[in-house]
Amino acid sequence: MNPGLFFNFLSSQTKMDRRELLEMTGKLGMVGAFTALGLLGEPGKAFAHRPPSGGRFSDTLFDFSDLAAWAPGPYGAGDQRGSFNEVTPEKTEEALRSTLKRGRPVKTYQLGELMWNGFPAFSTVPRRIYEQRLTLAGYTPPPDYAAEGGIVHPFGALGSNQLSLHEERFAAEQSPGYPPLSTTFQIATQLDNLNHIGYLEFFYNGFRGPDIAHGYGTSSLGLENMGPIATRGVLLDVLGLKLKRRKKADLTTASNGRPLLRENYRITLEDLHEAMELGDIRDILPGDAVMIRTGWNQLLKRVNRQTNPSDIARWSASLGMPGIYIAEGQFLLTRRPALVASDTWALEVLGSPSNIPGTAFPVHQDLIMRGGIRIGESVSLDGLAEDGVYEFVYMVTPQFAEGATCANTAPAALGQPR
């Protein structure tokens, strides 16, 4: 084979350029380079993520009452960043180098769901609400503006240059026994922080609620400790896997006709492994951002600014959501990803026969408290799946908000469509 064509072939099978390939083959030899690149595998071991014979992951609840068994956490006493510690400058450089090939166009993907007034959310008291109002100054508003909740500033245009302006405000709600409250970061596309979920008074790394809780937020584990990251992202397209294999019993549809995993479908370890193989993802590495696609976000889609009430009821139901459960959470925890996210509002399955009666969100407890692994919810993954982008650069810049429990700035991905 012509050497130039040979190295073009190697480059097409990997994410390395000719210079890098030449350096590797010079150091390791051809067989060593092929093995290192995963082009020669061990018999019966094509993918590194397969669990050992018999498996070691189960749906056994972890006993958080034994504080010494989980605190200090994996990153040492006093740590407040959790598995974001895995996203080092070297990890970011590797993500940029290995997932994006030189000479090919790079597409930026929006991973956030569009927020609109009345966006549904997990039911709490006071409610999680999103109601945006426009305020204006400097001109006469349209006739229906006030009826729609719009606000007009009492002053007119500003200065001799007659400056007009628009700003947004957020509608407040009064709940019995609570002061008026408006919106929250815990709505729509979000990334749960380490101070969000605990066991009684204990939170990640053994921090105690009575020691850190204040009126404004928490004095430790707050959102100010998260920081922006850019890292390798991997898409586990479970919906795409089921469609490809025509597993109709595992699927249903939204009112727009788009497919999604059926209500309370338990995503199994086998599903995760097969989704990795579908995307040629050989392993989940420390510091990765893991995205699990179910199609559940199709229930949020609007037509002419209107949502389908039956879709919203299905999306919001606490007893009908597809997702992973404890064993799958344990598998992911051992990989030490920076975060695990899905296109549902809870990541974990709800209403499944697998759910242990009387428990509440045990996967959240496991990932956040034991591993310091943040959980992303309502992440939009359709664009990546449609373009066959299973590995990409994941980027997020969380709100720099002291003491906050969640970030809902929409993340983005850099990928190269197949």
SS3 180: coil
Residue 104 lies in a domain: yes
Based on its alpha-carbon atoms, the radius of gyration of the chain, rounded to whole angstroms, reads 24
For residue 2, which phi and psi values (nearest 5 degrees)? -55, 130
Rounded average pLDDT over 371-398 = 98
Same domain assignment for residues 208 and 307 = yes
Coil, strand or helix at 293: strand
In 161-301, alpha helices (H): 209-212, 238-244, 269-278
Residue with tokens 């606000």: 151
pLDDT(63) > 90 = yes
Domain that holds residue 20: 3-36
Q: pLDDT of 188-202, one tens digit each?
A: 999 999 999 999 999
**Is residue 303 included in any domain, yes or no?**
yes
Q: Is residue 136 part of a domain?
A: yes
| 47 occurs within a structural domain | no
Is residue 343 located within the same domain as residue 278?
A: yes
Give the least confident one: 7-21, 225-239, 240-254, 371-385.
7-21
Distance CA 113, CA 115 (A): 6
Distance CA 201, CA 193 (A): 16
Place of tokens 């009908």: 320
In total, how many domains does the chain have?
Answer: 3
Residue 341 lies inside a defined structural domain of this protein: yes
In this structure, what are the phi and psi dihedrals at residue 160, rounded to the nearest 5 degrees? Answer: -70, -20
Q: How far apart are the C-alpha atoms of 373 and 363, rounded to whole Å?
A: 11
Residue 52 lies in a domain: no
Query: Rounded to 5 degrees, what angle do the CA atoms 233, 235, 238 make?
Result: 160
Say yes or no to pLDDT of 18 above 70: no
| pLDDT tens, residue by residue, 280-322 | 999 999 999 999 999 999 999 988 888 899 999 999 886 789 9
CA 171 and chain centroid, separation: 27
For position 333, which CATH number holds?
Answer: 3.50.30.50
For 104-117, how does the pLDDT look when each residue is reduced to its tens digit (9 = 90+)?
999 999 999 999 99
Same domain? For 406 and 367 the reply is yes
Q: Are 136 and 103 in the same domain?
A: no
Q: Is the pLDDT of residue 334 over 90?
A: yes
Count CA within 13 A, CB hemisphere, residue 401. Answer: 14
Which is nearest to 374 in space by CA: 338, 347, 402?
338
Q: What is the pLDDT of residue 9?
A: 47
pLDDT at 386 over 60: yes
Tens of pLDDT, residue by residue over 347-375, are: 999 999 999 999 999 999 999 999 999 99
- Is residue 289 located within the same domain as residue 326? yes
If asked whether residues 216 and 355 sit together in one domain, one would say yes
198 and 322 both lie in a single domain: yes
Tokens 């919810």 appear where? 377
Average pLDDT, the chain: 88
Question: Helix, strand, or coil here: 266?
Answer: strand
pLDDT at 130: 87
In the 8-state DSSP scheme, what is residue 158? Answer: B
Same domain, 394 and 317: yes
**Phi, psi angle pair for 250, to nearest 5°:** -95, 0
Domain boundary among 122, 142, 170: 170
Residue 123: both structure tokens together: 């039911």
Q: Residue 338 and residue 204: Cα distance in Å, rounded? A: 15
* Predicted confidence (pLDDT) at residue 31 exceeds the cutoff of 60: no
Residue 62 lies in a domain: no
Q: How far is CA 183 from CA 186, 201, 273, in A?
A: 8, 25, 38
Mark whether 340 and 207 lie in a shared domain: yes
pLDDT tens by residue, 391-410: 999 999 999 999 999 999 99
Task: Answer yes or no: do 145 and 293 share one domain.
Answer: no
Kindly report each contact of residues 357-362 with a partner whose C-beta sits within 8 Å and lies 24 or more positions away, as own/partner: 359/61, 361/197, 362/61, 362/62, 362/325, 362/326, 362/329
- Maximum Cα interatomic distance, the chain, rounded to a whole number of Å: 79
Q: Identify the pLDDT of residue 375.
A: 98
Within a domain: 180: no
Phi first, then psi, for residue 374 (nearest 5°) are -75, 155
86 and 157 both lie in a single domain: no
**Percent of the chain that is helix, strand, coil (3-state, to 5):** 30, 20, 50
Pair (149, 95) in one structural domain: no
Confidence class for position 47, pLDDT limits 50, 70, 90: very low
